[in-house]
Structure 1
Amino acid sequence: MYSCAVVLAAGEGKRMKSTTPKVLHKVCGKEMINHVIDTLREADINDVNIIIGNGSEKVKENTISKNVSYSLQEKQLGTGHAVKCAKNFLEGKKGIVAIFTGDAPLVTTETVSKLVSFHQVNGFKGTILTSIVETPYGYGRVIREKNGEVKKIVEHKDCSEEELEVNEINAGMYCFDIDALLSSLDNLSNSNAQGEYYLTDVIEILKIKGEKLGAMPVPFEETMGVNSRVQLAEVEDIMRRRINNKHMENGVTLIDPKNTYIDAEVIIGNDTIIYPGNVIGGKTIIKKNCVLYPNSRIQDSTIESGVTIQSSVILESCVGNNTTVGPFAYIRPDSVIGKSVRIGDFVEIKKSTIGDHTKVSHLTYIGDAEVGENCNFGCGTVVVNYDGKNKYKTIIGDNVFIGCNTNLVSPITINNNSYIAAGSTITEEVPEDALAIARARQTNKEGWVTKKAFNK
């Protein structure tokens, strides 16, 4: 049967105290609403409509790549009003519509699939996602008939003494027959203290019509919504635990999962070992048999097999097989590090390619450069790529040895098999097989210290 989804994402989220729309706050590196959209797609619901309002342009900017449609709720007049704003999206469709909230990113693909199947198999016109909680204070209660079907939803403040004892709460997520929902939306009223249209009233309308209504309970953590920074942190903690458990089940060793931060879209190969304090973000791919010692940050990068990283930062770059990085190295965006390379302590690489088996052991800056294979950079080497106005390129061939404290003033080419003497400032091309020396000749002045009385 055809199924589509409506995601409520128009709320302002005042308790977040933020200029960012609530649904765009990130959980494990991904916007909450994009978690929800991706979950729906993984459950084979491809036709997704987003109800936007507060910060609508920002929400569009961050979801447009998901190939969704939008409905505008100019004034936030309740959940029922939000769904009313999607009538143009729903009209003419036959089948099932799932309704989820953009600030509840923990719902799983399995739950979405089960909800749609449960709704369809039982012939319900409306199905509520619920949770059983020990302390239901403040939540709307789901009251069932003796046969298990839903009788009504009662807000906490309206509950009788008996209804207050019910611990099944409304999660605010639903499945409806599209025709039944559309006809009920026309009958919604805002004659209440808040002057708003509530989606929960659709349940009562359908019940009065004699329609079958169901409820499917799921663990409370899946239905948790985010309305404050405290709740955002709680949801982040749950999501991080899920992600870390998934990687460990796939053969990754996390020495201390509670202190390892891995974003939702990161891929990690088996037999990789990750120590505490690592922050791995974006669309990073870490392949097999790597070791990440404590306190590195890796963002949107590819780390090939057998790499060892110690206390370093790698951003939007690639690191080849069996390379070592760090400690305290900084690999900036658009860098490609080859195989079996040594990037040592306090080395910075910026928008450069480093060939296989090259050693950049310590205290060196390489920017806007192409470096060949089997090169050696002495301590304190600087590629001088910026003249205050423009940046220039340096090309270094294979098997080049660069002595300590060398400046390579770009644009410049250092050809294969050449040597550069320590302390040189190189401003001209170095030919193949040559030794380049660019420093003043040493002069010793005997007795100078005594003559100047500097030794007193």
Structure 2
Amino acid sequence: MSTALIILAAGKGTRMESDLPKVLHKIGGAPLLHHAMLSASALEPDRTIVVTGHGAELVEAAAQDFDPDVIAVRQPEQLGTAHAVRQARSALDGFDGDVIVLYGDTPFITTDTLDQMIAARAAHDVVVLGFEAAVAGRYGRLIMDGKSLKRIVEFKDATDEERAVTLCNSGVICADSATLFDLLDAVDNNNAAREYYLPDIVGIANTRGLKTTAVTCAEAETLGINSRVELATAEALFQQAKRREMIEDGVMMQAPDTVFLSFDTIIGRDAEIEPNVVFAPGVTVESGARIRAFTHLEGAHVSRGAIVGPFARLRPGAELAEHVHIGNFVEIKNATIDEGAKVNHLTYIGDAEIGARSNIGAGTITCNYDGVMKHRTTIGRDTFIGSNTMLVAPVTVGNEAMTATATTVTKDVPDGAMAISRAEQNNKPGFARKLFSMLRAKKAKQAKG
């Protein structure tokens, strides 16, 4: 059976107190919308429709960043969830299959849960996702009769007996396309808010003799984000789950609560992550690598056996081969460091290639930017770069070459050569004492004045 997704992402999110559309606030370095799309994408849907409204252009761009084939439709006025789903009708012209309605601000629903809904749809016309709430509060209640879902009752309309029910409505619904839109056409807005509510289709389906049921999942999966407080809670839940997943897969974390991961972080087994490490998006760390304390990584690849940090920064485009050493207060950006090379102290390597087994001395800088353009530095294999070397790109230092300490390299260095560029040292006897005496006298005079 074919599957399509409708993801509702039109809301403003007033309680977020932000100019940014609610679904673009991030968890684990990715917009809420991307999390919702990620789990659903494993179903390999035939069509994915995102319904936008507030900040439509920004939301549509974010959706297409995740999936270039996504279909965006707009809800000009936010008149309720049923009204939002109706906007997707034309995007599903000619589609014959199941439709799952999801929410862009509900990031944690798993692929397994969606699979269960699709399986249940084989024997029912409408399937609703529910959860057993620890504190049911003002959630809508799912009123069941065995495996049949009789109705969804909003808290304000529920009797005391119905309010005692702890099976609550997540809002996620699955039905075949023709049935879904037929039921939506019957939804009215005879309520205080004058809005069209998606859960109303359950009652309509039952009056027509259709089969309805509910599938349940863990309450944490259904967490919707409506405020900064809920966003922070969701981030904490995401980090906790992601750390646990990593540890169970064989990653060593000395202080897991101090390690922060992104939605796409990949770390191999037997890698060791020390305390206070931040993984921004786009990072892969291979098995057996070691990331030392207070290191920040983004858009970087660290190969087997490499050591990074402490206090290092890997920026986008950093590519470290096996057994590379990157030490304290070193920054690597858009650079390839080949096998066994070492960059151990107080150094910036940007837009560069460092050959195998080369050693980069403390205080080295690849001077890659001329104020307008970026330029590359190439350093060969088995080369020694002396401390405090300035490499003014574009420049190449050959294999088995060397630069003397405090050298500024402005032209290529051939294989096996040593580059040295220093002004001649000139010592002036007694000059330091004389100068300090003059300066102290001037300072004393200023103090009296």
TM over 0.5, shorter chain: yes
Decide whether aligned partners of structure 1 residues 443 and 236 sit closer, same or farther in structure 2, where only a CA change above 3 A counts.
closer
Give the 4+ runs in structure 1 shifted more than 4 A: 442-456
Question: What SS does the aligned partner of 1:77 have?
Answer: coil
1:106 counterpart (98, 105, 108): 108
- Hey, what does 2:32 align to over in structure 1? 32
Is the Cα contact below 8 Å between 2:280 and 2:297 reproduced in 1?
Answer: yes
User: 1:250 Cα shift?
Assistant: 2.0
- Hey, what does 1:327 align to over in structure 2? 328
The answer to whether the aligner puts 1:439 opposite 2:413 as a matched pair is no
Q: Which has the larger displacement, 310-319 or 38-47?
A: 38-47
Decide whether aligned partners of structure 1 residues 174 and 401 sit closer, same or farther in structure 2, where only a CA change above 3 A counts.
same
- Which residue identity lines up with residue 208 of structure 1 in the other structure? T
- Which residue identity lines up with residue 380 of structure 2 in the other structure? G
Question: What SS does the aligned partner of 2:191 have?
Answer: coil
- Hey, what does 2:444 align to over in structure 1? none
The aligned length equals 427
Is the Cα contact below 8 Å between 1:268 and 1:287 reproduced in 2?
Answer: yes
Question: What SS does the aligned partner of 2:152 have?
Answer: strand
- Which residue identity lines up with residue 173 of structure 1 in the other structure? V
- Which residue identity lines up with residue 323 of structure 1 in the other structure? V
- Hey, what does 1:141 align to over in structure 2? 141
- Which residue identity lines up with residue 327 of structure 2 in the other structure? G
The answer to whether the aligner puts 1:188 opposite 2:191 as a matched pair is no
1:372 counterpart (363, 368, 380): 380
Decide whether aligned partners of structure 1 residues 210 and 420 sit closer, same or farther in structure 2, where only a CA change above 3 A counts.
same
User: 1:9 Cα shift?
Assistant: 0.7
User: 1:172 Cα shift?
Assistant: 0.8
Question: Aligned ranges for residues 134-283 of structure 1 at < 5 Å?
Answer: 134-145=134-145, 147-283=146-282
CA distance in 1, matches of 2:2, 2:432: 93
Question: What SS does the aligned partner of 2:329 have?
Answer: coil
CA distance in 1, matches of 2:177, 2:430: 100
CA distance in 1, matches of 2:431, 2:200: 98
Decide whether aligned partners of structure 1 residues 196 and 451 sit closer, same or farther in structure 2, where only a CA change above 3 A counts.
closer
CA distance in 1, matches of 2:135, 2:64: 39
Decide whether aligned partners of structure 1 residues 345 and 195 sit closer, same or farther in structure 2, where only a CA change above 3 A counts.
same
CA distance in 2, matches of 1:143, 1:117: 21
- Hey, what does 1:429 align to over in structure 2? none
- Hey, what does 1:82 align to over in structure 2? 84
User: 1:163 Cα shift?
Assistant: 0.8
CA distance in 1, matches of 2:93, 2:380: 62
- Which residue identity lines up with residue 137 of structure 1 in the other structure? G
Decide whether aligned partners of structure 1 residues 453 and 90 sit closer, same or farther in structure 2, where only a CA change above 3 A counts.
closer
Is the Cα contact below 8 Å between 2:409 and 2:419 reproduced in 1?
Answer: no
- Hey, what does 1:2 align to over in structure 2? 2
- Hey, what does 1:344 align to over in structure 2? 344
CA distance in 1, matches of 2:412, 2:408: 13
Decide whether aligned partners of structure 1 residues 148 and 283 sit closer, same or farther in structure 2, where only a CA change above 3 A counts.
same
**Which consecutive unaligned segments of at least 5 residues does structure 2 have?**
368-375, 441-449
Is the Cα contact below 8 Å between 1:132 and 1:220 reproduced in 2?
Answer: yes
Question: What SS does the aligned partner of 2:269 have?
Answer: coil
Question: What SS does the aligned partner of 2:100 have?
Answer: strand
User: 1:450 Cα shift?
Assistant: 8.5
User: 1:446 Cα shift?
Assistant: 5.6
Is the Cα contact below 8 Å between 1:43 and 1:110 reproduced in 2?
Answer: no
Is the Cα contact below 8 Å between 1:377 and 1:401 reproduced in 2?
Answer: yes
- Which residue identity lines up with residue 376 of structure 1 in the other structure? F
String of CA shifts for 1:70-103, please: whole Å, max 9, x gaps: 2210110000100111111234332211111011
The answer to whether the aligner puts 1:68 opposite 2:94 as a matched pair is no
CA distance in 2, matches of 1:361, 1:246: 38
Question: What SS does the aligned partner of 1:325 have?
Answer: strand
User: 1:231 Cα shift?
Assistant: 0.9
The answer to whether the aligner puts 1:397 opposite 2:401 as a matched pair is no
Question: What SS does the aligned partner of 1:70 have?
Answer: strand
CA distance in 2, matches of 1:453, 1:187: 92
Question: What SS does the aligned partner of 2:49 have?
Answer: strand
- Hey, what does 1:431 align to over in structure 2? none
TM-score, normalised on structure 1?
0.89
The CA RMSD measured in Å over matched residues stands at 1.9
**Which consecutive unaligned segments of at least 5 residues does structure 1 have?**
386-391, 425-437
Percent identity of equivalent pairs? 27
Decide whether aligned partners of structure 1 residues 110 and 449 sit closer, same or farther in structure 2, where only a CA change above 3 A counts.
closer
- Hey, what does 1:382 align to over in structure 2? 390
The answer to whether the aligner puts 1:306 opposite 2:305 as a matched pair is yes
String of CA shifts for 1:375-401, please: whole Å, max 9, x gaps: 222222122x3xxxxxx4011111222
- Hey, what does 2:98 align to over in structure 1? 96
- Which residue identity lines up with residue 58 of structure 1 in the other structure? L
User: 1:19 Cα shift?
Assistant: 1.8
Decide whether aligned partners of structure 1 residues 23 and 453 sit closer, same or farther in structure 2, where only a CA change above 3 A counts.
closer
User: 1:153 Cα shift?
Assistant: 0.8
String of CA shifts for 1:386-429, please: whole Å, max 9, x gaps: xxxxxx401111122212221223xx1111111234xx2xxxxx
CA distance in 2, matches of 1:356, 1:453: 48
User: 1:241 Cα shift?
Assistant: 2.0
Question: What SS does the aligned partner of 2:346 have?
Answer: strand
User: 1:444 Cα shift?
Assistant: 4.9
CA distance in 1, matches of 2:433, 2:339: 55
CA distance in 2, matches of 1:233, 1:89: 35
CA distance in 2, matches of 1:45, 1:301: 31
- Hey, what does 1:11 align to over in structure 2? 11
TM-score, normalised on structure 2?
0.91
Decide whether aligned partners of structure 1 residues 4 and 450 sit closer, same or farther in structure 2, where only a CA change above 3 A counts.
closer
Question: What SS does the aligned partner of 1:217 have?
Answer: strand
